Amino acid sequence: MKHIESESNASLKQWKKLHSRKEREKTGTFLLEGPHLIEEAIHSGAKLQHVIVEENYQMKDEWLKERFSLWSVPAKLMKQLSETEKPQGILAVCEMMDQPEDLIKPKGRYLLIDGVQDPGNLGTIIRTADSAGLDGVFLGEGTADLYNGKTVRSTQGSLFHLPVVKADLLQIIGQCKEQDIPVLSTSLQEAVDMRRASEVEGFALIVGNEGAGVQETLQKESTMNVKIPIFGQAESLNVSVATGILLYELQRNRS
């Protein structure tokens, strides 16, 4: 294990740059914080370039068999690297995952995310899509960055469990239709109660921006608009909650 003591160490400075999206995209790497996420990454075969621990951190023996370079830093530097208020003592530089091409298969179940902006919402939605056993998630333009620290933490590791791909959603909609997969757009107007859409076999569900919802261009290309009934006085639901309700409603007959 190598030790870094100085703020001006070149590696340390490089890792700190990964707080910015631009640098993450340039290098194809991102930061993972905490033992749980690192464990998920290792189990899923994601490649860790560096693992950085706070001095005296007790690392699990099995991890040490992995091939990555290991560094220790004083608490002060860990604080600079971490994006959380209470760093968990361990952090990794992880390579972005390769994603399979031609993801869309007959009877597949997909989620298309059109412009969800809050990283916490995006992460929670990916966690929900994992829990709901989807075959893939597509991130349209204007959607928060998958590799933002807040997004990654909110996924609770689910980003390693299913394909999550940046994509042109119009193209994806076209591919789904070619495979006879119904494309369901969430909407508050002119939409069918979700309970009448729930017998579908395979689906592509589109959820939209926190304020504006799904773009009209995408709604127009959808097979059907669906909505969640509102029984009270709320105007709408949080987008992560709405996604969860819809994904489970659409799969009521799944065993």
Task: Give me the least distance between CB of 36 and a copy of itself, in Å please.
Answer: 9
| Burial of 254: CB neighbours in 10 Å, binned 0-12, 13-18, 19+ | exposed
Stretch that binds a copy of itself, among 7-15, 21-29, 68-76, 238-246 (CB under 8 A): 238-246
Q: Mask of contacts with a copy of itself, 101-120, x by CB under 8 A?
A: -------------------x
Sole residue written with tokens 């709901």: 132
Q: Does 233 bind a copy of itself (CB under 8 A)?
A: yes
Q: Are 53 and 88 in contact (CB under 8 A)?
A: no
Two tokens, residue 199: 């017998």
Q: Which stretch binds a copy of itself (CB under 8 A): 57-65, 70-78, 141-149, 247-255?
A: 247-255
Q: Is 232 in the site for a copy of itself (CB under 8 A)?
A: yes
Query: Of these, 124, 186, 209, 219, which contacts a copy of itself (CB under 8 A)?
Result: 124
Among residues 4 and 237, whose Cβ is nearest to a copy of itself?
A: 237
Cα dist from 139 to 13, 115, 123, whole Å: 30, 8, 12
Say how far apart CA 60 and CA 47 lie, in whole Å. 17
> Is position 88 an interface residue for a copy of itself (rule: CB under 8 A)?
no
Bridge-based pairing of strands 48-54 and 90-95 is antiparallel
Q: Cβ(172)–Cβ(58) under 8 Å?
A: no
Tokens coding 30 = 């991102």
251 in helix, strand or coil?
coil
**Which of 24, 50, 153, 161 is in the footprint of a copy of itself by CB under 8 A?**
161
Query: Could you tell me which stretch among 21-29, 45-53, 183-191, 229-237 binds a copy of itself (CB under 8 A)?
Result: 229-237
Binding site for a copy of itself (CB under 8 A): 120, 124, 127-134, 154, 156-158, 161-162, 195, 228-238, 240-245, 248-249, 251-252, 254
